[in-house]
Amino acid sequence: MKVNAETSRFNQTIYDSYVNLLRSQTEAMSAALAGVDSIVVTPFDAPYKPSDDFSERIARNQQILLMEESHLDKVVDPAGGSYYVEMLTASLAQEAWKLFLDVEDKGGFEAELNAGNITAAINATAAARMDKVAKRREQLLGTNQFPNFTERVADKLGERPACKCCCAHDEEGAVTLNRKRLASQFEDLRLATEHAQRAPKAFMLTIGNLAMRLARAQFACNFFACAGYELIDNNGFKTVEEGINAAMDKQADIVVLCSSDDEYAELIPQAVELLADRAELVLAGPETDDFKALGIKHFINVRSNVLGTLKAFNDKLLNK
């Protein structure tokens, strides 16, 4: 049996697209360790334009690196003796065999495919992965985590490569395969901001404890940059009033209060009163009943659904 491996487009991104080189290199290395007969590396720019001489050359060079520098083609079993790889391989084989037997018990692959069960199972897995990306339980560097704050891609989006699969022939009413990339929802969100007449401004009202305000301002900037918002960070303010006045001078749409939990009880009432609905007040910190009682409606923290939160802000701010 001859086995050909092709690196995935599922986890490729439009924003910070050179990170796709790291993703495809890891996948190509995995295929080489598995001992496939041939490998196709998908060019890094495949999600947004037809590949050109440069991207195809880089894709070929990725394989050359594995051959000429890592010598993965000169060793029978490059991963031999690696406890981690061997245990992972055994675990994958066991789970795959269980799945194979389950499909056979239900009439075989063709019967399950015609019944829509294969497609439904793949879609469920894709949905679970996308949910993890939305909540940053799975990170896509440059898209849902550590984005390039100033990157714009609308101008570089050329004609998208045509789909060469049989999706155009799906029967009406049939369960269709989810072919969206992991990053697609975040990309749609940020592109909507790019196409808006004016990008919303998120202002960091940093006050109080130095370490906490800096850490939370950095987190908040990273959070709102995922939607392409204009970010206004600050070193710190002596009073809430000073911070609110500065935010209004900058015509901020969102004011993010960044301080420590202990200081919030005193700072929140002042911020709510002084801001008076002139902008959206967001607390960088835990969502608690006490803070809600003080008038906070929006919270961002490590438990937030980043995609859902940013979609809500986009719906409200881009339609102003």
CA distance 202 to 250: 10
User: What pLDDT score was predicted for residue 138?
Assistant: 96
Q: Cα–Cα distances in Å, from 130 out to 48, 71, 127?
A: 20, 35, 5
pTM: 0.90
pLDDT given at position 58: 98
- How is domain 198-317 classified at the CATH fold level? Rossmann fold (3.40.50)
Q: Where are the domains of the chain?
A: 4-103, 198-317
Residue 234 confidence (pLDDT): 97
Structure confidence at residue 169 (pLDDT): 47
Query: Which candidate, 125, 145, 126, places its Cα nearest to that of 135?
Result: 145
Spans in the chain with pLDDT lower than 50: 168-169
3-state SS of the chain? Answer: CCCEEECCCCCCCCCCCCHHHHHHHHHHHHHHHHCCCEEECCCCCCCCCCCCHHHHHHHHHHHHHHHHCCCCCCCCCCCCCCHHHHHHHHHHHHHHHHHHHHHHHCCCHHHHHHCCHHHHHHHHHHHHHHHHHHCCCCCCECCCECCCCCCCCHHHCCCCCCCCCCHHHCCCCCCCCCCCCCCHHHHHHHHHHHHCCCCCEEEEEEECCHHHHHHHHHHHHHHHHCCCCEEECCCCECCHHHHHHHHHHCCCCEEEEECCHHHHHHHHHHHHHHHCCCCEEEEECCCCHHHHHCCCCEEECCCCCHHHHHHHHHHHHCCC
**Looking at residue 160, what is its pLDDT?**
53
- The CA–CA distances, whole Å, from 270 to 42, 202, 285, 309 equal 54, 19, 17, 24
